[in-house]
C-alpha cells in the first residue's frame, strides 16, 4: 500500500513535515519500482533530507501546498475511514488482509498473518483506533485498542 501523510512508517514520524512528505513520495516511487520496504525507508529518508537542505524556502512551501502523496481511493478521499478500526482477516484470494472498517478494499494483503498483524498494528497506532484480529474462520481472535 502506498504511504501517505496519515499512514506512513513510524520511522518518519519525527521528521519535519516537508521532509516526511518528500520521503513518502520517494519511498512510494521506490516501492512501485519493486524495492523492498526495509531498503526504501532509509534511502527515501536520506534523499528527502538532501532535497530539503538544497531546496529554497519557496520550493518547500510550493511542495507543501501540492496535494498529498497518496493515491486515489485511499482513506484521504474518505475521511470517515480515519476513525474506523483496522481489521486483519483472511483474504478471499489467500493470505491475510488489512482493511479499515467500511473500506472498499484491503489496504494490504500478506502471505502470512504475522505480517498482516504487524502492519495492522502500525496503521491502528498511527490512526489512534482499534485493531481487530480475526481467525481463519472469521471469528474475532483479539482486539487491541490504540485510541488516544
pLDDT tens-digit readout, 79-108? 666 778 999 999 887 899 998 888 777 888
**Global confidence as pTM:** 0.49
Contacting residues for 85 by C-beta, under 8 A, at least 6 apart: 100, 101, 124, 129, 130, 131, 132
In the chain, the percentage of residues whose pLDDT exceeds 90 is 37
64 has a pLDDT exceeding 60? yes
61 pLDDT more than 50: yes
| Pairwise CA distance, residues 116 & 99, whole Å | 10
Amino acid at each position: 500500500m502506498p504511504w501517505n501523510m496519515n499512514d506512513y512508517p513510524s520511522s518518519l514520524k519525527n521528521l519535519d513535515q516537508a521532509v516526511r512528505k518528500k520521503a513518502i513520495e520517494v519511498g512510494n516511487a521506490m516501492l512501485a519500482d519493486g524495492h523492498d520496504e526495509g531498503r526504501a525507508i532509509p534511502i527515501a529518508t536520506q534523499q528527502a533530507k538532501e532535497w530539503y537542505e538544497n531546496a529554497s524556502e519557496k520550493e518547500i512551501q510550493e511542495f507543501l501546498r501540492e496535494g498529498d502523496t497518496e493515491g486515489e481511493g485511499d482513506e484521504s478521499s474518505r475521511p470517515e475511514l480515519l476513525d474506523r478500526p483496522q481489521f486483519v482477516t483472511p483474504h478471499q484470494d489467500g493470505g491475510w488482509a488489512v482493511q479499515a472498517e467500511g473500506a472498499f478494499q484491503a489496504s494490504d494483503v500478506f502471505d502470512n498473518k504475522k505480517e498482516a498483524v504487524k502492519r495492522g498494528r502500525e496503521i491502528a497506532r498511527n490512526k489512534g483506533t482499534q485493531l481487530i484480529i480475526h481467525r481463519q474462520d472469521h471469528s474475532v481472535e483479539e482486539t487491541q485498542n490504540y485510541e488516544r
